């Protein structure tokens, strides 16, 4: 055990109690990230410079995009958690599947569901799916950052035992000091990846449809795999073959898909138009 251990800043996960309704930081992180992401997306689609000749969704339609993506993220996040992280429990307790308020969401599933929602939105609006995806990926690190902070406050998804000076004793995690891996993920998946997205857009990534999405997928996958080396695996799964975790395995297809999108986007002429998707 290290000589010095940072005290865990115990914070009530319920931010405010409105009568019988508790407002939790976890739920608030979803709401704030969606609203802030929507505001930034509104600003981006009203500017011509980042897009050039590439078509993008209208500012008016972003209200609907928010609904499509939010529902997709919640449904996909829950479904992936059920299938990949705790299937035996939910097979034995099927009535627990809809109980998302008790926790249990997968980011990989949430992103898959959000992508499906964006695809359906693109078909309805007859705009390019890659442009919609680029816009969503540009603001996604906001949700990642706030979500990981909410994980830290709860607390959940803590790190592996550690002897570093900033190790913490998490309530419910046993007597050993641990890595504050939620903060590592907030920094890499949220702040660092958000900076990459901002620089990419500033450099004209929107003009090559799919490039922003590809950079996000590769960046997230690498950040998640790196953080998994410090994060305690889910107790019902533990370590998989070779010390890998489920988070690592689910990130590999993201990295491959992101790399393919980057190659596809860079091989196209900047500003080249793809056919719109008609329903």
pLDDT band at 279 (very low <50, low <70, confident <90, very high): very low
pLDDT band at 277 (very low <50, low <70, confident <90, very high): very low
Distance between CA 198 and CA 258 in Å, rounded? Answer: 17
pLDDT number for residue 270: 52
Span 142-179, pLDDT tens digits: 999 999 999 999 898 999 999 999 999 999 888 899 99
DSSP 155-216: T-S-B-B--STT-B--TTS-SS-B--HHHHHIIIIIIIHHHHHHHHHHTTGGGSTTHHHHHH
Residue 4 has pLDDT above 80, yes or no: no
Q: Are 223 and 57 in contact (CB under 8 A)?
A: no
Please give the average per-residue pLDDT across 249-260, as a whole number.
Answer: 96
- 148 annotated binding-site participant: yes
pLDDT number for residue 275: 43
Note the pTM of the prediction, 2 decimals.
Answer: 0.88
Please give the average per-residue pLDDT across 198-215, as a whole number.
Answer: 96
pLDDT number for residue 44: 96
Q: Is 19 left (phi over 0), alpha (psi -120 to 50) or beta?
A: left
Distance between CA 169 and CA 187 in Å, rounded? Answer: 20
Burial class of 165 by CB neighbour count within 10 A (0 to 12, 13 to 18, 19+)? exposed
Distance between CA 102 and CA 27 in Å, rounded? Answer: 11
Span 5-21, pLDDT tens digits: 777 887 777 777 777 77
Tokens 């994980």 found at: 151
What letter does residue 6 receive in the DSSP assignment?
A: B
Span 88-127, pLDDT tens digits: 999 998 988 888 766 778 888 989 999 999 999 999 999 9
């Amino acid at each position: 055990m290290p000589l010095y251990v940072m005290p865990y800043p115990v914070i009530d996960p319920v931010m405010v109690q409105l009568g019988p309704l508790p407002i939790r930081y976890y739920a608030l992180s979803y709401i704030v990230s969606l609203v802030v992401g929507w505001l930034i997306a509104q600003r981006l689609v009203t500017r011509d410079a980042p897009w050039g000749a590439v078509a993008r969704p209208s500012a008016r339609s972003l209200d609907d995009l928010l609904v499509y993506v939010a529902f997709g993220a919640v449904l996909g996040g829950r479904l992936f958690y059920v299938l990949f992280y705790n299937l035996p429990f939910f097979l034995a307790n099927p009535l627990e599947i809809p109980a998302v308020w008790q926790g249990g969401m997968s980011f990989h599933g949430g992103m898959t569901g959000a992508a499906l929602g964006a695809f359906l939105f693109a078909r309805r609006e007859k705009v390019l799916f890659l442009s919609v995806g680029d816009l969503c990926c540009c603001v996604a690190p906001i949700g990642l950052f706030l979500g990981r902070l909410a994980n830290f406050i709860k607390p959940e998804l803590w790190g592996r035992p550690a002897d570093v000076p900033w190790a913490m004793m998490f309530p419910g995690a046993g007597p050993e000091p641990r890595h504050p891996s939620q903060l590592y993920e907030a920094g890499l998946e949220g702040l660092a990846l958000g900076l990459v997205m901002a620089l990419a857009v500033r450099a004209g990534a929107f003009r090559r449809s799919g490039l922003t999405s590809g950079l996000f997928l590769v960046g997230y996958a690498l950040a998640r795999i790196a953080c998994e080396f410090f994060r305690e695996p889910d107790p019902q799964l533990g370590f998989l073959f070779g010390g890998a975790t489920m988070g690592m395995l689910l990130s590999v297809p993201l990295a491959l898909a992101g790399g393919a999108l980057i190659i596809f986007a860079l091989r196209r002429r900047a500003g080249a138009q793809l056919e719109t998707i008609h329903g």
